[in-house]
C-alpha cells in the first residue's frame, strides 16, 4: 500500500469522526513537510508519515473503554491496534515495528531515539497547540525543551509569531 492508501484506510477506520480525521490529516501534513525539508531518507520518511497517520489509532478504543483518550492509554492500547491495522499493507516488518514503537511512545518526551520520533512529536504538538489553545508560555517552553528540527522550529515560530 502507498502512504495515500494507508491514509484513506485510516480515514475509513476513523468512522466519520471529523475531529480524529482532521487531526491525523494535519499531523501528517506537518510531519510530511518537516521530513521533506529535513531531508530524511526514503525509509525514515515513510516511517514518519505512516506514524503520523496512525499515531492516535487507539483514541476511539480508549474513549470507549476508559471514557477518555489520555496519552498513556493511547500509547499502551495503540501498539497492538496499530500492528493489526498495518498487517497486510505490504510494508516491511521493520517499518511496521518502528511505526508501532512510535505509536507507543508519541506522548513520551524523553529518550527520543530518532529523527522520525522527533518529527512526530513536533508535528503532533503543532496541531495540539492549536486544537487545545495552548498558552504562549506553554508554546515558548515547549519550543525551548522539545523542538529540535530547524523546520519544526521555523513552523512553530511562524504560526505563533515567535520571531
Q: What is the pLDDT of residues 101-151, one digit of tens each?
A: 999 999 889 999 999 999 999 999 999 999 999 999 999 999 999 999 999
Residue 86, Cα to own-chain centre: how many angstroms?
15
> Can you give the pLDDT at residue 44?
98
Q: Which grid cell sits at 43? A: 525509509
- Segment 29-57 shows an average pLDDT of 98
Q: Taking the CB of residue 23, how many other CB atoms lie within 10 A of it?
A: 19
Tens of pLDDT, residues 51-96: 999 999 999 988 989 888 888 888 899 999 999 999 999 999 999 9
**Number of Cβ within a 10 Å radius of residue 87:** 10
Amino acid at each position: 500500500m502507498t502512504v495515500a492508501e494507508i491514509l484513506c484506510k485510516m480515514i475509513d477506520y476513523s468512522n466519520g469522526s471529523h475531529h480524529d480525521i482532521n487531526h491525523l490529516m494535519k499531523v501528517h501534513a506537518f510531519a510530511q513537510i518537516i521530513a521533506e525539508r529535513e531531508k530524511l531518507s526514503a525509509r525514515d520518511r515513510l516511517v514518519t508519515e505512516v506514524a503520523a497517520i496512525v499515531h492516535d489509532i487507539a483514541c476511539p478504543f480508549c474513549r470507549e473503554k476508559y471514557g477518555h483518550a489520555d496519552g498513556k492509554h493511547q500509547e499502551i492500547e495503540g501498539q497492538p491496534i496499530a500492528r493489526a491495522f498495518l498487517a497486510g499493507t505490504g510494508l516491511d516488518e521493520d517499518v511496521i515495528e518502528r511505526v508501532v514503537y512510535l505509536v507507543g511512545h508519541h506522548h513520551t518526551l524523553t529518550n527520543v531515539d530518532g529523527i522520525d520520533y522527533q518529527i512526530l512529536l513536533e508535528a503532533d504538538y503543532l496541531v495540539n497547540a492549536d486544537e487545545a489553545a495552548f498558552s504562549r508560555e506553554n508554546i515558548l517552553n515547549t519550543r525551548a525543551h522539545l523542538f529540535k528540527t530547524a523546520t519544526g522550529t521555523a513552523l512553530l515560530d511562524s504560526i505563533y509569531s515567535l520571531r
